Structure 1
Amino acid sequence: MIAMGAMDSMFKDFKLIAGRPVYIQVQDYMKHLIIKSALQGGQKLPSTRELSTLLKVSRNSIIAAYAGLEDDGFAYAVPGQGNFVAMTTPGSVTVASRPMNWQDHLSGHARLAEELDLMKRGIRAEKGTISFTSIAPDESLFDLDNVKRAFMDRMAVEGNVLLNYGYAKGYKPLMDYLRLYLEHKGVDMKGKDMLITNGFTEGLDLVLSALDHRHGSVLCENPTHHTAIKNLKLHGFGITGITMERDGIHLGELEQALAEGEYDCAYFVPSYHNPTGIVMSPEKRQGLMKLMAGYDIPVIEDGFNEELRYSGSHVSPLIATAGAGNSVIYLGSFSKVLFPGLRVGWVVADEELIYYLESLKRARTIHTSTLDQSILYQYLHNGNLEKYLKKARAEYKRKYELTLACCKEFLPYTALSGDGGLHLFVAFAEGFKTRELLEACRAQGVIFTPGDQFYTDGGGQHTMRLGFSRVRDAEIRKGIQIIGRAATRQLMG
């Protein structure tokens, strides 16, 4: 039995947290004391009345906590005598072993992934920093009431089913909705099928895993999406980047590359290209697909920001331009439009390829969260996407125009691109170093994304990407003014 004085000191650090059941907090606290050997095996625990007084909680909470400790194997009760610490508890028996040097056990794949992980090497924004690094949606626009309603609606219909295992291919109501959604974009779905994934990144990873590495080479725009560069390198592909023009990829360079080399696939971002923000023209899309049709090379299309157009008419994706052809693999998601926290993306491709992708998906992650899929489906089914897009487009268009105007007013750029979406791409004179500019701006509380990380050939040292979606109006103007003054000084120096 513990003396009262000792008990007072032992339990003095217990503090309740609002919102969590009291008995669970007591139970967890006692487990911690037992695991840390502050309470020994066979030792009698304070009576429920004593512990109630010491912890200043109800006796019923202590009774429930002791019952939980017994259920979990941390304690046992002796009728008429009280509660005791179990002689063997989880974690109480350990086997000493020598420290393992994990550097001796890491694969080359893991080492490359760490090397390419820019999140670990990116600039950490100090409090108060104006950050143009993000191209994530502005969470203040999120339609929380309708998301909650979608969750409750779907749970009321089939809650028990949604909390169980789902299907590798995806949640059928969502897939049916997305089929119609894609048909409205002009996609011929005959002979094609769909796989739901954990966002764009898993979709790309699955596709690259399924494709043959006969040549070990891939074609893409230069610059291009860094996540794609990272995944292509992790899959062992060599990358041939094709120059971007104001209306999209340089078709002459692409034709020459196709004539001179052999490739396993091509990766393109035709709409609101990351990082340039360029929308490939309809004429160039047709020219691209006619050119690719002469070669037996799968085309991976990244749908990215297709919905964030602020002016002009809808431009059909490459998979729609291909008509009944089956060479295009389309990767889509609503991450930049709706809620990236719902990790839902999709792959649309020839039904034979999807047949194999389904098996890869099942082997790796079994299925994408059915709960996430069902909430997204119900939100879309309730007609909320159109209303949300109207609001989001209006806000992002306003920020886009403000950022564009500030760039034109304050930056000594040589080229500026971005037809919509959530970012602009800036190029300074050749020889200019934007990483030096970044250090100067960081000292003044402003950061952005250097453009060289998007290039396939080590170029782009004179470029940068400005993400404006999560930056307040006053900070957009102030931040770009600071960048402009620092860039001018650097050019003059």
Structure 2
Amino acid sequence: MFKDFKLIAGRPVYIQIKDYMKHLIIKGGLQGNQKLPSTRELSTLLKVSRNSVISAYAELEDDGFAYAVQGQGSYVAPTPPGSETISSWTMDWKTRINDHARLAEDLDIMKRGIRAEKGTISFTSIAPDESLFDLDNVKRSFMDRMSVEGNVLLNYGYAKGYKPLIDYLKQYMEHKGVEMKGKDILITNGFTEGFDIVLSALSKKNGSVICENPTHHTAIKNLKLNGFEITGIPMERDGIDLVELEKALQEQAFDCAYFVPSYHNPTGIVMSPEKRQRLMKLMNRYQIPVIEDGFNEELRYSGSHVAPLIAAAGSGNSVIYLGSFSKVLFPGLRVGWVLADQELIYSLESVKRARTIHTSTLDQSILYQYLLGGHLEKYLKKARAEYKRKYELTLQCCKEFIPYTALSGDGGLHLFVTFAEGFNTRTLLAACHEQGVIFTAGDIFFTDGKGQNTIRIGFSRVTDEDIRKGIEIIGRSARQLMG
């Protein structure tokens, strides 16, 4: 006994001793009323200081696991916490979960996707490159905000969000051309929670949603989990096909539309300003509310900023905008926002409160202080330069090595590759995986089961050397499969 004790660096020694002794008591290694080794003896056995053992024994007494007898030493409590157990029985939880949980599991590609073993060149991620993170200013923002109101930030917050951040984001969106009168903001745990809250609050009169095809896989997943049927409209080079969209609107009624107009996931297409205006006129004519995903909006590499759909809506309230800095700043700070009609936000706030009470006030305050300090603009300048360089390298390599029929991506963190009809990119993925390269097969982004001849290549976290090497392997494997 006591030979399996191992210290973990960075954790107080007395707590590790206390937890170790607790484990022995609960598992029956030490019985009730059994005398514990003296503090001097245990310190020798565990190779720790005697003071650490004394502190550990005191903690064990406080927790009800031990008691001391004056002049005799310490003993295991007669019935320490956790020592009495009810006779065990086994539940078959697979029979107890509902259809919602089963569907979520079926749609969970992370559980069934190919794992990137060490050394694999992975083009699956479109998360930001952590080597670019502005750690010094994030640390400074944390310390600055904690020094101002740390006691407040560590307590419960408000469901609607941290007011200084809300006020900042209102001004931020106003600078994007959004008419803010009659609108409000709800802070959420990133895009996904915001989207889920919105979908859960909308009525399902028709039970159907219209969107681009392909589209964001997480959106497809959440639409299905919220019980919506999805109608996908094909893409053109400058965004959704408006002719096909109007045909669908004439044939069927929809509860809402979901669009990703900037650096569309997965195609990377930026919808043209002209098409945005025509799209909004079409939505207005058919009275379809729009959920706009502001995905990657800040990662423009050239040209002027294109105003979001909610700006094109003017003083109207038909657009629900979902924003997040996850792809341009730090996804570890789970902060997103819903910008919409103030009456709708009033209702969404109650849904948010019932589900998660509030988004981490600490996360919100750090983000606010970082934005307030003007660090976003400096960081974006550096990030855009690096991502633009990787984008151009990836684009060049795709043109040089891959036998595609179409290639899209106007910026952002990924490119979308289409091969000839009948070519199976799942087979290509398997062949590339054997050679240490993986990517995202494009079929998961399609609403109608198509896209077996497409792939998404995320380059944000891949080195220059691996970009060239990996894309060359993808291209060579594709040519071999094509014969």
Is the TM-score greater than 0.5?
A: yes
Offset at residue 98 of structure 1 (A): 2.7
Offset at residue 82 of structure 1 (A): 1.6
**Counterpart for residue 172 of structure 1:** 163
1:284 counterpart = 2:275: yes
1:259 counterpart = 2:250: yes
One-letter amino acid of the counterpart of residue 99, structure 1: T
One-letter amino acid of the counterpart of residue 382, structure 1: G
**How many residues matched?**
483
Offset at residue 23 of structure 1 (A): 0.7
Offset at residue 297 of structure 1 (A): 2.0
**Counterpart for residue 5 of structure 1:** none
Offset at residue 80 of structure 1 (A): 2.1
Q: 1:119 aligns with which of 95, 110, 113?
A: 110
Q: 1:327 aligns with which of 318, 325, 332?
A: 318
Cα separation, 1, equivalents of 2:227 and 2:196: 12
Cα separation, 2, equivalents of 1:483 and 1:472: 16
Cα separation, 2, equivalents of 1:348 and 1:370: 19
1:481 counterpart = 2:472: yes
Cα separation, 1, equivalents of 2:205 and 2:69: 70
Give unpaired runs (5+ residues) of structure 1.
Answer: 1-9
Offset at residue 204 of structure 1 (A): 0.3
Q: How does 1:81-120 map to 2 (within 5 A)?
A: 81-120=72-111
**Counterpart for residue 183 of structure 2:** 192
Cα separation, 2, equivalents of 1:77 and 1:193: 61
Q: TM-score, normalised by structure 1?
A: 0.97
Offset at residue 172 of structure 1 (A): 0.6
Q: Secondary structure at the match of 2:353?
A: helix
Cα separation, 1, equivalents of 2:297 and 2:78: 62
Offset at residue 19 of structure 1 (A): 1.2
One-letter amino acid of the counterpart of residue 277, structure 1: G
1:299 counterpart = 2:290: yes
Q: 1:393 aligns with which of 360, 384, 402?
A: 384
1:430 counterpart = 2:437: no
One-letter amino acid of the counterpart of residue 44, structure 1: K
Q: 2:235 aligns with which of 229, 244, 252?
A: 244
Cα separation, 1, equivalents of 2:158 and 2:414: 36
Offset at residue 366 of structure 1 (A): 0.1
Cα separation, 1, equivalents of 2:266 and 2:311: 23
Offset at residue 39 of structure 1 (A): 0.7
Q: TM-score, normalised by structure 2?
A: 0.99
Q: Secondary structure at the match of 1:280?
A: coil
Q: Secondary structure at the match of 2:191?
A: helix
1:358 counterpart = 2:349: yes
Offset at residue 335 of structure 1 (A): 0.3
Q: 1:417 aligns with which of 391, 408, 418?
A: 408
Query: Which stretch of the first structure deviates more once superposed, 470-479 or 42-51?
Result: 42-51
Cα separation, 2, equivalents of 1:485 and 1:443: 13
**Counterpart for residue 67 of structure 2:** 76
Q: Secondary structure at the match of 2:285?
A: coil
**Counterpart for residue 45 of structure 2:** 54
**Counterpart for residue 210 of structure 2:** 219
| RMSD, aligned CA | 0.8
**Counterpart for residue 135 of structure 2:** 144
One-letter amino acid of the counterpart of residue 183, structure 1: E
Offset at residue 41 of structure 1 (A): 1.2
Offset at residue 81 of structure 1 (A): 2.1
Cα separation, 2, equivalents of 1:486 and 1:230: 31
1:457 counterpart = 2:448: yes
Cα separation, 1, equivalents of 2:482 and 2:325: 40
One-letter amino acid of the counterpart of residue 130, structure 2: E
Cα separation, 2, equivalents of 1:407 and 1:151: 41
**Counterpart for residue 374 of structure 1:** 365
Deviation string 1:435-478 (CA, Å, 9 cap, x unpaired) is 01111111111110000000000110100000000000000000
Cα separation, 2, equivalents of 1:61 and 1:44: 19
Offset at residue 97 of structure 1 (A): 3.4
Deviation string 1:178-233 (CA, Å, 9 cap, x unpaired) is 11110110111100010000000000000000000111100000000000000000
Give unpaired runs (5+ residues) of structure 2.
Answer: none
Query: Which stretch of the first structure deviates more once superposed, 77-86 or 132-141?
Result: 77-86
Q: Secondary structure at the match of 1:20?
A: coil
One-letter amino acid of the counterpart of residue 315, structure 1: V
Cα separation, 1, equivalents of 2:357 and 2:401: 51
Q: Secondary structure at the match of 1:293?
A: helix
Deviation string 1:143-202 (CA, Å, 9 cap, x unpaired) is 111110000000100011100000000001111111111011011110001000000000
Q: 1:439 aligns with which of 417, 420, 430?
A: 430
Deviation string 1:61-94 (CA, Å, 9 cap, x unpaired) is 1111111111112112222222111122232111
Query: Which stretch of the first structure deviates more once superposed, 44-53 or 403-412?
Result: 44-53
One-letter amino acid of the counterpart of residue 357, structure 1: L
Cα separation, 2, equivalents of 1:232 and 1:72: 48
**Counterpart for residue 17 of structure 2:** 26
Cα separation, 2, equivalents of 1:97 and 1:28: 24
Cα separation, 2, equivalents of 1:321 and 1:134: 31
Q: Secondary structure at the match of 2:291?
A: strand
Give percent identity, aligned residues only: 81
